[in-house]
Structure 1
C-alpha cells in the first residue's frame, strides 16, 4: 500500500530543527475528496511539513500500520467510505496513542462531542479557516506535553476571513 506523497521543495525532515519559528513534523491528511486533500497538502507543504495523503480511513489505517514513518498528526474528515473519521480516531488512540488527531466535520455537534470524548486533539467545523487550523497544527506538533487541543466550533465568522477555504466539505 503506497501513500500519496506531496513533494515540496521546503518540506522539512523530522530530524531537522524548526526553521524561522516553523514547527516541523509529518502529517497524514485523510479525505475522500481529492481536491480537499490536494489543497490542504499543498498549503501545509508550503509551511514546511512532510505530508502524506490518504483517500479514506481504511487506506490511512493501512499506511499507519505499514509505514516506518512516524506521524505526529492525522487530520481527517469525518464522512468517508470504508472507514469514517471517528472509526479511524478510535483505532489510532488504541494503537498509536502518541499520534494526535484533528477531525474536521460539517455534521452536528454530537460528532464533535464524541470525537473529543475519544481523544481528538481538536475538532473543526466546515468550512474552516487555514490560519486557525495551522495554529492548532503547530500546537499539536509541539514536543511539550503541556500542549492542549481545543474545539474550534466557536470561531467567529470574522476570525475566518483570512485564509478561509472550503476544505473537507
Structure 2
C-alpha cells in the first residue's frame, strides 16, 4: 500500500484528498504546515512514496519545501497543487524538481490518476537504474546520453537534469525526426492517456533547450512544429 503525504492548509481539501486516496488503496497522512512537512520528510522520507504539496502554505511555502528537499537529495516524487494564477511559481516548482502539478479546482480522480502515473514512472526509473552488462548510450550531435548511468554530456560537459527532463530527452533521442504531439508526449513520458493542459510539456521543453542548445531561442535539436508539437533532430542548422 503506497503512502502519500498530503500538505495543504485548507481542511476541506485535505479531507477530500485523503478520502479519495484512501478509497483508491493509499495510506494517507495529512499536514497543514510547510515547515512541519519539511521536517517530516527530512527525517523520514523513506516512510512516504509520494507528496502532494500545495504551493501556498504557512510556515514554509511549497516551493521552499521542494527546493530544500531536492538540495538535500530527497528524491521522493512531488505533485504540486497550484492555483491558476500561480503560473510563474508553477514553472519554478517544476524547475526545482517537482514531478507534476494539478491546478485548483481539480478533480480528485484526476489527482489520484496522476499520482499512480508518477509512481509507475518512479518504479520504472528505479528498474532502469539497476546495473546492466551493456549500458544503453544515445548520441545526437554534441549530446551523449548514458541511460544506465543516468548521465548526459553536452559538448563533453556533464549536465544535470531532473528525472522528468531526462525521460523527455531520452524519448526525443529515441525518436529522432518524428513529429511528436504534446498529447503523445504526455502519454509516453508522463503516462497520461488524456489531458487538457499541456503546459507541463512546454515548460520541460523550454528547460531542455536551455541545457542542450547553443541558443535556446533558435533551437537546432528540439524544433517546434506549429499546431502539433515538437521534432528532435540531430542538431543540424535550420529553422
TM-score by length of 2: 0.50
- The alignment yields a C-alpha RMSD, in angstroms, of 2.4
Corresponding position: 1:117 with 2:95:
yes
Q: Distance in 2 between matches of 1:148 and 1:72?
A: 20
Q: Distance in 2 between matches of 1:148 and 1:52?
A: 28
Aligned length: 132
Residue segments in structure 1 that go unaligned for 5+ positions in a row: 1-11, 13-24, 156-169
Encode CA deviations 1:22-41: one digit per residue, 9 max, x unaligned: xxx11110011122112111
Corresponding position: 1:154 with 2:197:
yes
Encode CA deviations 1:95-125: one digit per residue, 9 max, x unaligned: 2432011111113311111111111111221
Q: Work out which of the two has the higher radius of gyration on C-alpha atoms and give 1 or 2.
A: 2
Moved over 3 A (4+): 66-69, 146-153
Change in 2 beyond 3 A, CA 1:61/1:135: same
Q: Distance in 2 between matches of 1:75 and 1:148?
A: 20
TM-score by length of 1: 0.69
The answer to whether the Cα contact below 8 Å between 2:20 and 2:109 also exists between their aligned partners in 1 is no
Encode CA deviations 1:54-75: one digit per residue, 9 max, x unaligned: 1111010121133375212110
Q: Distance in 2 between matches of 1:96 and 1:54?
A: 22
Query: Equivalent residue for 2:23?
Result: 46
Which structure exhibits the higher relative contact order, with contacts defined as CA atoms closer than 8 Å and separated by 6 or more residues?
Answer: 1
Q: Distance in 2 between matches of 1:140 and 1:75?
A: 11
